[in-house]
Structure 1
Amino acid sequence: MVIYYSTSAILALLFILFQGVSGDDNNPITRRFKCRDGCCDEHEWCRFWASAGECTANKGWMSDNCQLACNTCHKSMN
């Protein structure tokens, strides 16, 4: 039996594995990593995830948390 894994699943697994290796106790999700004019990427990996197609594959979470990387700033701002 052959099991195929999506790119998203592999990236998520790598992210989980590397979080433990980094030794960084700061959770990047809880702090603004990069902001411009009130538009923010809430995680340091936003640009990487965006380049891997996550803005489309995981649109709901990415458009709220990776606004700069996904170019969704205008949709979330008043």
Structure 2
Amino acid sequence: GNYYDPLEKDMDNDGIPDRYDNDFRSSNYFESTYDVDGLKKDDKESTLGKLEKYKAKVREEFSLAQEDIDKEKDKGAR
């Protein structure tokens, strides 16, 4: 008999029936066919940038600790 199958429709008009469409709401054929999220890059900080920030932080903490050690040495010298 006749039955209604909503997945046989192509609601976003990209030429792919919704049953086989990876993103049935997007009319972008490339994204629908290959299941990609476009060519967007995530805005992630580079690993080298993170390392440089960490190195600077460690240097700063080390120099502050070294200053405290020097102050303690100077107290006993007086």
- For CA contacts below 8 A with separation 6 or more, give which structure has more relative contact order: 1
TM range, smaller chain: under 0.3
TM-score, normalised with respect to structure 1: 0.22
TM-score, normalised with respect to structure 2: 0.22
Whichever structure has more strand as a proportion of its residues is 1
